């Protein structure tokens, strides 16, 4: 990713809020591919003519195929405070998702225990007593149904790996394009999961901040353009 392609939603002396493209890693991973964190470091180094490596702190993550709003810290103090805020539930993270199938309940809370198999990078629903089990919760509301698909607004309570994808697959309504967890029912295509809203408190000023970014207008998202425009972002 070139720094010219970086979409910045907000920048000040302490934080940088950007739009993460789909299929771009948010930080270095085992693939060795270029990633958003390193791109931000290059941007800071060039923009501010910094000597040596520029600092950028990873505060939260998005799965590689998921796009949307992310905040990075520009100072170690901001990184520490944002990380603590994230740990204490001070972030509100909302997503849009297109589901294959319609959940039986149009508005509900999903609670599960999840376990990650680090060998194959697959996350499973498990029992509370299983080794490595972590509590996961989200709430959702179905905004529109069309042609066997459902447009959902999701509020993430916890930030587990692949959480939204695994939890919706567990009720037999996988996220569109999620062949890993939904199998053939998920249908082939770009993953229809988008982090559209991020709310947090500024780590230095204490200001309440919210940033939004609508999902792409191509692919399966085109099927729900009317409902997207009617939602009060």
Catalytic residues: 63
Beta bridge partners of 199: 92, 210
Closest CA to 62 of 164, 210, 136: 164
d(CA 231, CA 94): 13
Placement of tokens 């939602």 in the chain: 231
d(CA 35, CA 163): 21
152-188 residues labelled b (16+ CB within 10 A) or e (exposed)? bbbebbeebbbbbbbbbbeeebbbbbbebbbeeebbe
Q: What is the CA radius of gyration of the chain?
A: 18
């Amino acid at each position: 990713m070139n720094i010219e392609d970086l979409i910045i939603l907000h920048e000040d002396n302490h934080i940088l809020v950007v739009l993460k493209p789909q299929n771009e890693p948010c930080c270095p991973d085992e693939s060795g591919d270029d990633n958003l964190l390193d791109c931000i470091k290059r941007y800071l180094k060039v923009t501010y003519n910094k000597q040596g490596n520029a600092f950028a702190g990873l505060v939260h993550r998005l799965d590689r195929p998921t796009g949307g709003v992310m905040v990075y810290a520009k100072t170690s103090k901001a990184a520490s405070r944002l990380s603590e805020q994230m740990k204490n539930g001070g972030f509100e993270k909302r997503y849009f998702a297109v589901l294959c199938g319609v959940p039986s309940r149009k508005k509900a809370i999903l609670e599960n225990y999840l376990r990650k198999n680090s060998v194959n990078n697959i996350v499973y629903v498990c029992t509370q007593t299983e080794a490595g089990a972590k509590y996961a919760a989200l709430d959702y509301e179905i905004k529109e149904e069309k042609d066997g698909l459902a447009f959902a607004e999701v509020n993430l309570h916890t930030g587990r790996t692949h959480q939204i994808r695994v939890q919706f697959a567990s009720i037999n309504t996988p996220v569109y394009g999620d062949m890993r967890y939904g199998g053939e029912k998920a249908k082939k295509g770009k993953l229809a999961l988008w982090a559209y809203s991020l709310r947090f408190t500024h780590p230095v000023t204490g200001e309440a901040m919210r940033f939004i970014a609508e999902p792409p207008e191509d692919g399966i998202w085109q099927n729900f353009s009317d409902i997207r425009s009617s939602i009060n972002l």
